Amino acid sequence: MSLVRKVSRNTSALVLFGVVAAFATTGPLQAQDDASDLYDHKCAVCHGKDGLGNTAKGKKVHVKDVHANMKDSEADMIKAVTDGKGDDMDSYKKEFTADQIKALVAYYRTLGK
């Protein structure tokens, strides 16, 4: 077998492995991890990693505890993240996709359980 053929076969195998690995890491678990990371980087500064709002910035803007927010519907929470809440919370519609916002809200709601 020629060297070119071996390299081509090995390259094809690596590409196939990469595609399989990429699909294996997507799905609900990956979405949960992504939402958790997004929350930690963007939301926790006000809402706190635990969702209790006991952060300096959270106290300044009077962030409600996650348990108090659980009375809001998922749709209302998605709207708040998408459109913002006046001066207290920025809109994230230009920063996150609709799916990311939905995943963020789903993750946040798990903190209230």
Angstrom CA distances, 95 to 18, 38, 86, 88, 90, stand at 28, 11, 17, 17, 10
Could you report the per-residue pLDDT of 43-97, keeping only the tens digit for each?
Answer: 999 999 999 999 999 999 999 999 998 999 999 999 999 999 988 899 999 999 9
Residue 2 lies in a domain: no
In a domain, 59, yes or no: yes
Asked if residue 4 belongs to a domain, the reply is: no
Specify if 37 maps to a domain.
yes
Containing domain of residue 38, as a range?
27-111
Q: If we measure between CA atoms, which residue out of 8, 27, 26, 4 comes closest to residue 16?
A: 8
Please say whether the dihedral angle defined by the alpha carbons of residues 33, 62, 55 and 68, taken in this order, is positive or negative.
negative
13 lies in a domain? no
Q: What is the CATH number of the domain that holds 49?
A: 1.10.760.10
**pTM of the shown model:** 0.69
Residue 19 lies in a domain: no
89 within a domain of the structure (yes/no): yes
For the chain, the domain total comes to 1
